[in-house]
């Protein structure tokens, strides 16, 4: 099966899994929001030979106020498939801007780093929040500056 087809199937499986989980947890959450992040391009500080453009980034964050749970998948800088899971804390910093800090666990880096199959991650970011379905986000992930886009539902 082609790589793009597998990615689409995994993304759809993730959507259905999160929809199922959301259906179960929805009565427990007060005023929960869903942020969907898509598309990512990066600029690496150390090397220009790493994956810069085709990250196939796709994640969901279920937010309740200023905190959220994050689940996503992407092709990392070493062209390996990665899955990330964690928490995010958000702070308004100015009109139409929000700072956030995501932290948790990520897979897919074990061949390049000395960490085990699952590594910790911390990623600060700033998001332009004026528009609901087009919210540019600038993040630092490892040794890369990442531009991605999100939509709020």
Q: What is the pLDDT of residues 62-78, one digit of tens each?
A: 998 899 999 998 877 77
Residue-wise pLDDT for 14-29, tens only, equals: 666 666 666 555 554 5
pLDDT in tens, 34-90: 899 887 777 777 666 665 566 688 899 999 889 999 999 887 777 788 899 999 999
Rounded to 5 degrees, what are φ and ψ at 96?
Answer: 65, 20
Give the confidence band of 32 by pLDDT, cuts at 50, 70, 90. Answer: confident
Contact in structure between 152 and 68 (CB atoms under 8 Å): no
Average pLDDT over residues 94-120: 84
How do 118-128 and 81-94 pair as beta strands? unpaired
Cβ-based neighbours of 71, under 8 Å, separated by 6 or more: 14, 18, 59, 60, 61, 83, 84, 85
DSSP 110: T
* All residues at 6 or more sequence positions from 142 whose CB lies less than 8 Å from its CB, including other chains: 77, 121
């Amino acid at each position: 099966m082609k790589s793009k087809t597998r990615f689409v199937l995994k993304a759809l499986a993730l959507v259905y899994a999160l929809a199922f989980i959301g259906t179960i947890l929805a009565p427990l959450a007060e005023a929960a929001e869903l942020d969907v992040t898509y598309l990512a391009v990066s600029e690496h500080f150390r090397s220009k030979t790493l994956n810069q453009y085709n990250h196939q980034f796709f994640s969901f964050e279920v937010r309740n106020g200023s905190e959220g749970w994050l689940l996503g998948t992407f092709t990392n800088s070493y062209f390996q498939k990665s899955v990330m899971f964690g928490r995010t804390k958000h702070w308004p910093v100015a009109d139409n801007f929000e700072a956030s800090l995501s932290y948790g666990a990520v897979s897919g880096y074990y061949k390049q780093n000395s960490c085990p199959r699952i590594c910790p991650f911390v990623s600060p970011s700033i998001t332009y929040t004026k528009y609901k379905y087009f919210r540019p986000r600038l993040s630092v992930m490892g040794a890369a500056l990442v531009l991605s886009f999100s939509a709020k539902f």
